[in-house]
Amino acid sequence: MAAQQLLLNVDNVSRVFGGLKAVSDVNMQIQDGELVGLIGPNGAGKTTLFNLLTGVYEPSGGKIHLSGESVGGLRPYQITKRGAARTFQNIRLFGDMTVLENVMVAYHMHARHSLFTSIFRLPGHFKGEAEMREKAVEFLKIFNLDGKKDEIAKNLPYGEQRRLEIARALAARPKLLLLDEPAAGMNPQETVDLMNLIRWIRDEFKITILLIEHDMGLVMGVCERIYVLDHGQIIASGTPEEIRTNPHVIEAYLGQEV
Amino acid sequence: MFNKKFFLYLVLSLVFYGVVQFLITGMWLNDFYVDTLVLIGINIILAVSLNLINGFTGQFSIGHAGFMSIGAYVSAIMTYNFQMSFPVALLAGCVAAALAGLVIGLPTLRLKGDYLAIATLGFGEIIRIVWLNTEYVGGASGMNGIDKLTNWTWTFFLVLITILVIQNIVKSTHGRAMISVRENEIAAEAMGVNVTKYKVYAFVVGAFFAGLAGGLTAHYFYIIQPTSFNFMKSFEILVFVVLGGLGSTGGVVLGTILLTLLFTYLQEYPELRMIIYSLILIFTMIFRPQGLLGGFSAKKMVKKGGSSQDGSSTTSA
Amino acid sequence: MFEYIVQQLINGISIGSIYALIALGYTMVYGIIKLINFAHGDVFMVGAFVGYFAAKAGLGLFWSLILAMAVCAILGVLIERLAYRPLRGAARIVILITAIGVSFLLENLGIYALGPQAKGFPEIVTKTQYTLFGDVTINSVQIIVLAVTVILMVLLQYVVHKTKMGKAMRAVSYDMEAARLMGINVDTTISFTFAIGSALAGAAGVVFAVMYPSVDPLMGIIPGLKAFVAAVLGGIGIIPGALVGGLVLGIVETGVSSAGFSLWRDGAAFAILILILIFKPSGLFGKNVREKV
């Protein structure tokens, strides 16, 4: 895996909430095509770090580069346009829209027809809309959701909602996909399916994935490299093997099975 | 797409227009009916445009009467003081209202839920107070003797254009972007939707058509006064939208027609009319919050912070 | 000049304290069920009318006040039970629209039953001017308004901080579910909050009617909106905030009027509202809370 390119560079990033350092001096380098896990005890600052990477919060200090471009402090939609898409810990689908429309929203930022074109129904509108629809349907096929494309998203069973959220994020064609606890609320069988799906996504779409997970089996099984966050700081990083035996990690998880 | 259904509706509405116009020309419809038809048309423009902001984009605005007043005053000034032609005056009113929408929208749209509602209400009232204090437009007594240029034809075709434009927006990627903002603002932004831009778009387009309705009103009823555009008027428009069904253009159009008719026929009992009106509002909210005629449930509008899973979220904002 | 300013301050504080009384109801209700109770201004109107009829029947200020407060407390509880309770758990916007409906209903029932014309309020307080110093005067009505406000404020502080019900109110407004799990009767607590808030509005209605001696069914709209502005200004949900917000608003308004812009007076209130909402939506005393992602 030599000669890879640095995709995400997190350089000394901190975030302070009212005097409390939720994330402090985090450094993280992710290469193109890696599948990386981010773990840590509850309240370690994992989701906060995700929020910093995706622009929900602005870093109090430090720099974030995506493909060499500084993204720290940009709005979330700007960061998404620059190639990072995410899912959420608590699913955030567009509940009253159909499955297909959910995915089509992700194509919105690539749309070439303007509001003006749509209002006056100029030819560009029909062409653009048809393309989007076609692409979205194709996309849903990959995730086995095309049969349900006209269902209202909130009526899907839980597992399919999770899958739809991942599909929606992928439809934005990111270079970096951030998954926030994708296995939350899933049973063991669903978790195994999800592991396979994640690995397959990485290979099929040739993208980089960073995921937060509580399910150690999933993290250890699927990730090539793991960062461990505790009290807002990275206390260890390395391969699953290294992490499993790292004394700092064991200490942080004391009493918990690693 | 311009499919069969679209042409069917178009033909049907043109037939409707033709029949009514024929009846008016032949003097079979007296002024009372024409007044009612024009009033329904103006209310539809108001309700459908507010629905773009409140129903589709999920931004709770209750300042629509303010934008309407801008359209009314500006277009009246254009015809009355500058002898402009009616369409130019109407357009000027629309553009002025849209500009006001832009100016007001940019700072306020950061606010959420009921805070936004109150801010828009405040802006609406400020606009009214500005008219009240402007001698050029007659202050409290308003403008009198505006030419009656609005008629059934103008109203009908402008209603048609309004509905078409709003539907064309809603049924496009831009409309989906707006709806995604309503559904989950954070997810929308994470999917690359410039949330602020689409809120402002909705606000500006909504204000534009409110201005159009104002211009039509001014040139139908001869007289405009600041009090006609107070927040009660904004509430009235809101009621059309909510009862018709937030986020459903068809529902809103039907709801507006029914309510305007109900209102007109209860005109002889003005106090009872308002009592009935408020009771309908309360009972609808309690028993049918999705509106009388469908549309999505207003319940969604405040659950922005929540996961779509449990719906037990609380948002502080 | 100094005397002029002091005089305006006195005038501002007396109208401001009426706003504060109404604002308290807004703020308490918002604090507990996150509802902008649009009907609150109309409860104030009902209070004024109860005071009007009581005074007509020969009751003095004290009993008129008590009666108005009692009737409004009952009205407040009824409104909550009939209109808002069925919507517990529904979206805030749905309840907000319902509140607008209730407001319309009260206003129009008022017009239907009592006619739209304003009625002169009987003089139950003899208006005498007292000179404080120089040209600065205060009249008996202003003194009464201030006294009523201060007494009710002290009582409210006592209720909220020293009684079991007050503790329950604070608990429910902090976390309704947790309060319920701790065995607090949430429904009773909410009813109680409406009762107190509405009673304060009723009292405000009476003193307002004594001050501007007239009553009409739509009299609650503008003071209601302004009291709401006061509540937002102080930080909605925060009881001392409502007091300060009311006073500040009263003073600003009086200042704007006395500077010769009386027609802009209402505009000033809304301008304050918008500035606060844009720059510090949590109000002067509030803390910013942001959505958890």
Domains defined for chain B, CATH in brackets: 9-302 (1.10.3470)
Mean pLDDT across chain C: 90
Residue B5: band (very low, low, confident or very high) from pLDDT cuts 50, 70, 90? confident
Are A95 and B184 within 8 A, CB to CB? Answer: yes
- Is the per-residue pLDDT at B224 higher than 60? yes
Residues 155-174 of A with CB under 8 A from B: 158, 161, 168-169, 172
Query: Does B94 reach chain A within 8 Å, measured CB to CB?
Result: no
Phi, psi angle pair for C154, to nearest 5°: -65, -45
Which of C37, C291, C293 to mutate to test binding with chain B, by most B CBs within 10 Å of its CB?
Answer: C291
Query: Does B242 reach chain C within 8 Å, measured CB to CB?
Result: yes
Chain C residues with CB inside 8 Å of A47's CB? 293
Residues 194-233 of B with CB under 8 A from A: 194-195, 201
Residues 141-180 of B with CB under 8 A from C: none
For residue B106, CA distances in Å to B206, B225, C84 come to: 14, 28, 33
Between A28-37, B142-151, B222-231, B272-281, the lowest mean confidence (pLDDT) is in B272-281
- Is the per-residue pLDDT at A256 higher than 60? no
Instruction: Point out the residue among B174, B175, B187 whose CB comes nearest to the CB of A92.
Output: B187
What average pLDDT score do residues C109-134 get?
Answer: 89
Partners of A225 in the beta sheet? A36
Between chain B and chain C, how many beta carbons pairs sit less than 8 Å apart? Answer: 137
> In the CATH scheme, what is the homologous superfamily, with its name and number, of domain A1-83+174-258?
P-loop containing nucleotide triphosphate hydrolases (3.40.50.300)
Between chain A and chain C, how many beta carbons pairs sit less than 8 Å apart? Answer: 4
How distant is the Cα of A244 from the closest Cα of chain B, in angstroms?
A: 33
What is the 3-state secondary structure of chain A? CCCCCEEEEEEEEEEEECCEEEEEEEEEEEECCCEEEEECCCCCCHHHHHHHHCCCCCCCEEEEEECCEECCCCCHHHHHHCCEEECCCCCCCCCCCEHHHHHHHHHHHHCCCCHHHHHCCCHHHHHHHHHHHHHHHHHHHHCCCHHHCCCEHHHCCHHHHHHHHHHHHHHCCCCEEEEECCCCCCCHHHHHHHHHHHHHHHHHHCCEEEEECCCHHHHHHHCCEEEEEECCEEEEEECHHHHHHCHHHHHHCCCCCC
- Is the per-residue pLDDT at C44 higher than 80? yes
Task: Specify the pLDDT at position B302.
Answer: 37
Amino acid at residue number A83: G
DSSP, collapsed to helix, strand or coil, labels residue B256 as helix
Q: What does the block give as tokens for B80? A: 């009355």
How distant is the Cα of C291 from the closest Cα of chain A, in angstroms?
A: 10
Are B108 and C277 within 8 A, CB to CB? Answer: yes
What is the 3-state secondary structure of B59-111? CCCCCHHHHHHHHHHHHHHHHHCCCCCHHHHHHHHHHHHHHHHHHHHHHHCCC
Show which subunits contact A, needing at least 3 CB pairs below 8 angstroms: B, C
How distant is the Cα of C105 from the closest Cα of chain B, in angstroms?
A: 5
Query: Does B314 reach chain A within 8 Å, measured CB to CB?
Result: no
More confident residue, C90 or B69: B69
Taken in order C67, C71, C72, C77, the sign of the CA dihedral is positive
pLDDT per residue as tens digits for the range B276-289: 888 988 998 888 87
pLDDT per residue as tens digits for the range B32-56: 999 999 999 999 999 999 999 999 9
Which one, of C80, C119, C72, C98, lies nearest residue C218 by Cα?
C119
ipTM: 0.91
Task: Specify the pLDDT at position C291.
Answer: 54
Instruction: Point out the residue among B165, B190, B194 whose CB comes nearest to the CB of A86.
Output: B190
d(CA A120, CA A111): 16
Domain locations along chain A: 1-83+174-258, 95-173
Mean pLDDT across chain B: 88
Between C25-39, C71-85, C88-102, C165-179, the lowest mean confidence (pLDDT) is in C88-102
Are A85 and B201 within 8 A, CB to CB? Answer: no
Task: Specify the pLDDT at position C293.
Answer: 57
Are C274 and B119 within 8 A, CB to CB? Answer: yes
| Alpha-carbon dihedral angle through residues B252, B256, B262, B263, given to the nearest 10 degrees | 140
Task: Specify the pLDDT at position B294.
Answer: 60
d(CA A174, CA B56): 28
Query: Does B60 reach chain C within 8 Å, measured CB to CB?
Result: yes
Are B183 and A56 within 8 A, CB to CB? Answer: no
Highest mean pLDDT among A182-191, A226-235, B210-219, B275-284: B210-219
Between A11-15, A119-123, B3-7, B103-107, the lowest mean confidence (pLDDT) is in B3-7
Between B28-42, C59-73, C117-131, the lowest mean confidence (pLDDT) is in C117-131
Between B3-7, B252-256, C8-12, the lowest mean confidence (pLDDT) is in B3-7
pLDDT per residue as tens digits for the range B140-187: 999 999 999 999 999 999 999 999 999 999 999 999 999 999 999 999
Q: What H or E segment, with its residue span, contains residue C32?
A: helix C2-33
Between A130-134, B219-223, B239-243, B306-310, the lowest mean confidence (pLDDT) is in B306-310
What average pLDDT score do residues B296-313 get?
Answer: 37
% of chain C surpassing 90 pLDDT:
64
How distant is the Cα of A160 from the closest Cα of chain B, in angstroms?
A: 12
Residue of B nearest to C236 (CA): B115
How distant is the Cα of B212 from the closest Cα of chain C, in angstroms?
A: 25
Task: Specify the pLDDT at position A214.
Answer: 80
Give the helix, strand, coil percentages of chain C, each rounded to 5: 75, 5, 20
pLDDT per residue as tens digits for the range A148-173: 999 999 999 988 999 999 999 999 99
Q: How far is CA C236 from the centre of its chain?
A: 12
Query: Does A54 reach chain B within 8 Å, measured CB to CB?
Result: yes
Residue B298: band (very low, low, confident or very high) from pLDDT cuts 50, 70, 90? very low
Q: Which 8-state DSSP code applies to residue B260? A: H
Amino acid at residue number C203: A
What average pLDDT score do residues B78-88 get?
Answer: 96
Contact A34, A55 (CB under 8 A): no
How distant is the Cα of A179 from the closest Cα of chain C, in angstroms?
A: 14
% of chain C surpassing 70 pLDDT:
98
pLDDT per residue as tens digits for the range A101-117: 999 999 999 999 999 99
Query: Does B10 reach chain A within 8 Å, measured CB to CB?
Result: no
Query: Does B240 reach chain A within 8 Å, measured CB to CB?
Result: no
What average pLDDT score do residues C76-93 get?
Answer: 89
d(CA C83, CA C90): 12
More confident residue, A4 or A193: A193
For residue A245, CA distances in Å to A42, A237, A238, C62 come to: 20, 11, 11, 79
d(CA A7, CA B106): 35
Task: Specify the pLDDT at position C288.
Answer: 57
User: Which residues does B130 contact at the CB level (< 8 Å), separation at least 6?
Assistant: C267
Query: Does B238 reach chain C within 8 Å, measured CB to CB?
Result: yes
Query: Does C293 reach chain A within 8 Å, measured CB to CB?
Result: yes
How distant is the Cα of A169 from the closest Cα of chain C, in angstroms?
A: 16
pLDDT per residue as tens digits for the range C140-197: 999 999 999 999 999 998 999 999 999 999 899 888 889 999 999 999 999 999 999 9
- Is the per-residue pLDDT at B57 higher than 60? yes
Instruction: Point out the residue among C91, C105, C264 whose CB comes nearest to the CB of B302.
Output: C91
Task: Specify the pLDDT at position A20.
Answer: 86
Instruction: Point out the residue among C36, C95, C263 whose CB comes nearest to the CB of B132.
Output: C263
Task: Specify the pLDDT at position A255.
Answer: 53
Task: Specify the pLDDT at position B306.
Answer: 32
Instruction: Point out the residue among B165, B191, B307 whose CB comes nearest to the CB of A168.
Output: B191
Contact B216, B40 (CB under 8 A): no
Residue B315: band (very low, low, confident or very high) from pLDDT cuts 50, 70, 90? very low
Q: What does the block give as tokens for C157? A: 């502080």
Are B299 and C91 within 8 A, CB to CB? Answer: yes
